[in-house]
Structure 1
Amino acid sequence: MTRIATYGSNQMYLSRVTALNERINKLTLQVLTEKKSQNYTGISKDSNRLINFENEKARANAFITNNDMAQTRIKAADVSMTAVEKTMKAFKDRLETFYANENRSQQDVENIQNWAFQSMIDMQSYLSSSADGQYLFSGGRVSTEPVKLAAGSLAGFQDIYDGNSVTYPTTRAAHMLDITTDTSITGNLSFNAANGTITAANAGTLSDIPVGSRITAAGAAAGNNQSYTVVGNTGTQLKVSRLTTEGPTAGTISYYTDDSKSTTNVAANLTFVPGTDTITVSNATGFTAGQTFTVAGTTGNDGVYEVQSITAGPPDTITIASAKIGTTETVAATLSADSWYQGDNINIEQRIDQNRTVSIGVFASDPAFEKAIRAMGMIAQGAYGTSGGLENNLDRIEGARFLIQDALNHPASASPPFGPEASSDLESVRSQLGVTQGLIKTTTETHKSYVGFLDERITSMENVNKEEAITLLLDDQRALEAGYQTLAKVREMSLLNFLN
């Protein structure tokens, strides 16, 4: 018989010891994990606020992660634009040196043309850079390489753009054209060999093709399926012959007489016939096939030409080298033009916080890059010694000088030679990218500060005061030890022990 008087008293004493033991286990777990509870039940009065804070923290961390990815894209784009800027400035410097040199040799001309083409290749490379498997300058077409030049070598480029029959576009609209006509819209196309025109059956359906564009015909007779430069457009009819009907009219023919580039000028009455692309000269010229000459003083036919063939006179009848319409026909044909820009104009939006998005896209088609590529292409076109060569078309230098300067810093000082140009330049593109980069950085820092604030609030609700928990644990451990000792002592105090 024990001294604990009843069974009930004994059980109550044991339950208190057990409760004390449970409290010690709880305090031990709190000390080890530093958490008040392992589930929300243990902090029920704060659980709703805690869940809200944790959701806010997760959202802020998601913004931080996404913003870091956007910053990576922007930094990679900025690196590419630094390289683009060096290429553009180097080309500008070389062009200015060439412009200032009055005694330009064949080597000088070929060097600047090669430099221009290599600069285009560099632009293609830098604007086709990627990050995280996505192209940076192709808009929404992140899997499509944004820049695709017409050729991979200068010789191949000059085969396409000979500077005579087919010239490199001088306006943005012509430079960016990407189109294929649809016969269900245009109707049949009429090719007129006598006039050098292509006419759509349905009025106004060719209005999207700007003057200066390079177009390629397909589906017509073999002699008509070639590339042309559009020199006039009524919306329904394209003029592709270089010549305008004129004459006889007084004009001047100039040509080089020897390797020193001394010039001979001949006054003559000139008659120009488009389509057949013939120039009738009242005087005997003595020209042979391949000869280049310059016409001046006419109403609409001034320019540099190359003799394809000649019927000697006088008067001499010169057939000039050009892309001629070979056959007069009306046929279900198409016209197409491929742009060097393969991307689109869809802005890539980045949500940097709950209430704000920014555009992080930079297009390779931005006028800052387009004007530079156009300037380089104008210089690179036309092989030396042909009518389309740079040495025979020195006005291209002035145009290219304006474009490259305007690409770097708009507006350039001179008047636009090809009409108004878009205002964007490399300086403004980089500035805007820097603003976006700074905004994302500031917003990310705000998110990080907010996460720090939430961590403090979450910690205050989740975590225990470790020093306090340890103190309570030690107190309860001592109380438990005393309880067990008391229980053991009491159980030793039986009536038999008392009588002994």
Structure 2
Amino acid sequence: MVNRLANFAHHQFLNSHLFKLQNDLFDAEIAVASEKKTQKYAGLASQSQRLVNLEYLARQSEQFNLNNNAMDLRLETQDIAMVGIEETISNIKDMLSDFSSGERRDENQVEQMQKFAYQALRDIQGFLNEKVGGRYLFSGSRIETSPVSLGLGNDLNDFQTTWNGDTTTYPTTRSANIMEFGVNETGVTYTLGNSVINGEQVQHGVMTVADSSLYQTGSSITLTGTNAGTWTVLDKDQDGANTLRLARKELNTNASSPATDTYTFTVKRGTKEETFNADVVVDPVTGYITPSNPTDFQGVTIPSTIEITSADGNNNLHVTATAFNEDTLGSLTIEQKPLTAVGGAGEAVTVSSQNYYNGDLMTSNHRIDDNRVITLDTNGLDPAFEKAIRALSIIAQGKLGTTGGLDQNTDRADDALWLLNSSLNFPTDGTPPYGTEETSSIEQLRFNNAFQRNQIKDSITREEKTIGFLEVNIGSIENIDMLEATTRLLDIDRALQASYQVLSRTQKLGLANFL
């Protein structure tokens, strides 16, 4: 038998060389396919740390842009909502201006004005409850809570039932409008009282509380217990420390009860006004004013405001006639808001406010890049929105013809007009009707919003340029030269083929080939 030339050592050497070439070919194929020099940072040796730093900066810039685009969408949607509110207020302001310059007691004009004011409140409520991606935009940090609930009910009638403009009036100041608390008062007592202003009785009830500083004059509070319901706080601490005066309206019995007294009645509704005398019997239990002559009240339109005066001042009141009772001797039913006196040790009462805002006042910060942060603080309780809500509610309250109606309180139009102007732009000419107001306006809110969006857009542009610059530098480190890599791949492939040929040839050679 003739021995082969290739021995075991030679065979092992050729195989190891083949394996190395195969591994080099695999790496070269991966490099050409991925266009990267290596798949591991270790393959870049001294430049790996620099590459990691550059990639971190690029990913950071990409994340900034991702966050900034999301925030820009929220701010854009917020601005769209504010544009809607601005247009709503501008339109209703023009209508109110026309109303103020015309006949303010005209029934059709009053009804239309209140209808438009109510609809504007609905529109503003809708805009302030706008959300994007499941996040409410005007609720502070309570992004899952609908921020604004104006208590509008199903229609204008529901709203005017809650706010009759007489015994329950919509708060005229910001502090009263946004008062928020829940208090459990114990040992509460109520006493009745009357004040006389310019010959008219201003009736009130005195309520004792633990701490009157919690309450605001002009605010509306909801009570439980004997006098459950919504009450307007007329004043506080006028009848002793920690006392509140609550608005009430009740008829008094005739001064010479049960005899008949003579009263002067001035009936008002819209532009209509009629004055006459009538002998009547007053019944505060039923709310009936019954005339001696059943036809005395026959021409009274329901509802109407009735100004009652008498020689002895017993029932000098502005009241609302809500029904004409032909079957009870032509009597009128007068709307009352009675308060029950509770003396002695008193009772436990829960007091809650009528605040329309359900969000919070927390601000949030948004980082637009590594060095800059913007503060987001626009919410549904901003004075710009609150002034508009208050103005429109003051106009919408009180049904036509009633004591609290707009036709009987025409000065509300001028007051609301100032608030609407102040809501749109500040400063506003003229004197604030209800005291000093905060300066925020929708114009300023939109300016702030536009400035923040401009900052975000500038940051996005800068980050995009930064990302491009970083990607170029990253590519210079990790990307291959395609021509060089392809040439190397072909060289390795040819070397591998030649190695296989050598291996095959040496396996076939033996000493017999040389004999």
The normalised TM-score by structure 2 is: 0.78
Counterpart Cα distance in 2 of 1:216 and 1:407? 28
The alpha carbon displacement at 1:38 in A equals: 2.1
Structure 1 counterpart of 2:319: 306
Q: Deviations over 1:245-300 (max 9, x none)?
A: xxxxxxxx99457985357699xxxxxxxxxxxxxxxxxxx99997635699xxxx
Distance 1:257 1:13 in 2: 118
Correspondence for 2:200:
none
More displaced, 22-31 or 113-122? 22-31
Query: Secondary structure in 1 aligned to 2:193?
Result: coil
Q: Percent identity?
A: 33
Report SS of the residue matched to 2:431. Answer: coil
Once structures 1 and 2 are overlaid, which stretch shifts more, 356-365 or 409-418? Answer: 356-365
Q: Does 1:206 align with 2:222?
A: no
Which amino acid is the alignment partner of residue 327 of structure 1?
A
1:4–1:453 distance in 2 versus 1, CA, 3 Å: farther
**1:325-364, Cα deviation, whole Å (9 max, x unpaired):** 2224222223221211111111233222334332334211
Offset of residue 6 of structure 1: 7.3
Deviations 1:354-403 (A, max 9, x none): 34332334211111111111111011011111111111101100100000
Which range is displaced more, 375-384 or 231-240? 231-240
2:233 and 2:244 in contact (8 A); partners too: yes
**Aligned equivalents of 2:304 and 2:112: distance in 1?**
23
CA RMSD of superposed structures (Å): 3.4
Give distance in 1, aligned partners of 2:52 and 2:415: 65
In the other structure, the counterpart of 1:165 is 167
Judged with a 3 Å threshold, the aligned counterparts in structure 2 of structure 1 residues 425 and 128 are, in CA distance, closer, same or farther, namely same
In the alignment, structure 1 segments of 5+ residues that lack a partner are 244-252, 267-285, 297-302, 310-318
Deviation of the 1:207 alpha carbon: 1.2
Alpha-carbon offset, residue 216 of structure 1: 2.0
Per the alignment, residue 236 of structure 1 pairs with 242
| Aligned partner of residue 272 in structure 2, secondary structure | coil
**Could you say if the C-alpha distance between residues 375 and 259 of structure 1 is closer, same or farther in structure 2, counting changes exceeding 3 Å?**
closer
Q: In the alignment, which residue of structure 2 is the partner of 1:100? A: 101
Which amino acid is 2:218 matched to? G
1:164 and 1:322 in contact (8 A); partners too: no
8 Å CA contact 1:349, 1:359 repeated in 2: yes
CA distance in 2, matches of 1:372, 1:257: 29
Sort the Cα spacing of 1:485 and 1:176 in 2 relative to 1 into closer, same or farther, 3 A: same
Equivalent position SS for 2:368: strand
- In the other structure, the counterpart of 1:78 is 79
Task: For residue 107 of structure 1, report the CA deviation from its aligned partner.
Answer: 1.2
Q: 1:291 to 1:445 in 2, by over 3 A?
A: closer
Q: Which blocks of at least 5 consecutive residues in structure 2 are unaligned?
A: 195-203, 250-263, 278-295, 310-315, 323-332
Deviations 1:110-165 (A, max 9, x none): 11001100110111111111111121111111111111122231101111111111
Q: Partners of 1:326 and 1:14 in 2: how far apart? A: 109
- 2:480 counterpart residue number: 464
1: distance between equivalents of 2:336 and 2:449? Answer: 45
Partner of 1:216: 222
Deviation at 1:59, TM superposition (A): 2.7
The partner residue of 1:292 within 302, 305, 314 is: 305
Question: Would you say the 8 A contact 1:164–1:387 is kept in 2?
Answer: yes
Report whether the alignment pairs 1:188 with 2:187.
yes
Distance 1:238 1:67, change over 3 A: same
Q: Which amino acid aligns with 1:396?
A: R
Counterpart for residue 323 of structure 1: 337
One of 224, 229, 232 as aligned partner of 1:226: 229
The answer to whether the 8 A contact 2:140-2:377 is kept is: yes
Q: For 1:143 and 1:258, how far apart are their aligned partners in 2?
A: 46
- Return 287-296 or 467-476, whichever deviates more: 287-296
Secondary structure in structure 1 of the residue aligned to 2:149: coil
CA pair 258-487 structure 1, distance change in 2 beyond 3 A:
closer
Supply the distance in 2 between the matched residues of 1:304 and 1:345 (Cα, whole angstroms).
43
SS of residue in 2 equivalent to 1:182: strand
**In structure 2, the residue corresponding to 1:189 is in which secondary structure?**
strand
Change (3 A) 1:391 1:464: same
Query: How big is the shift at 1:104?
Result: 4.5
Corresponding residue SS for 1:363: coil
Q: How many residues align?
A: 450
The counterpart of 1:371, out of the listed 383, 387, 390, is: 387
C-alpha distance in 2 between matches for 1:38 and 1:290: 87
Instruction: Determine helix, strand or coil for the equivalent of 1:230.
Output: strand
**Shift in CA distance, 308/117, structure 1 to aligned 2, threshold 3 Å:** closer
SS in 2 for 1:229: strand
Q: Secondary structure at the match of 1:191?
A: strand
1:349 aligns with 2:365: yes
Give the direction of change, closer, same or farther, for the CA distance of 1:254–1:392 in structure 2 (3 Å limit).
farther
1:444 is aligned, of 460, 483, 491, to 460
- CA deviation after TM superposition for structure 1 residue 484, in Å: 4.6
Q: Is the 8 A contact 2:209 2:243 kept in 1?
A: no
CA deviation profile, 1:402-459 (whole Å, cap 9, x unmatched): 0001000012111101011110000001111111111122222222222223322322
What is the distance in 2 between the residues matched to 1:307 and 1:477?
A: 104
Deviation per residue, 1:226-257 (Å, 9 max, x gap): 322111112711112479xxxxxxxxx99457
Structure 2 residue 77 is matched with structure 1 residue 69: no
Which one-letter code corresponds to 2:463 in the other structure? H
Aligned residue number for residue 300 of structure 1: none
Q: 1:358 is paired with a residue of what secondary structure?
A: strand
Scaled by the length of structure 1, the TM-score of the pair is 0.80
Aligned to 1:167, what secondary structure does the other structure show?
coil
- Residue 402 of structure 1 is aligned with which of 391, 396, 418? 418
Q: Where does residue 254 of structure 2 map in the other structure?
A: none
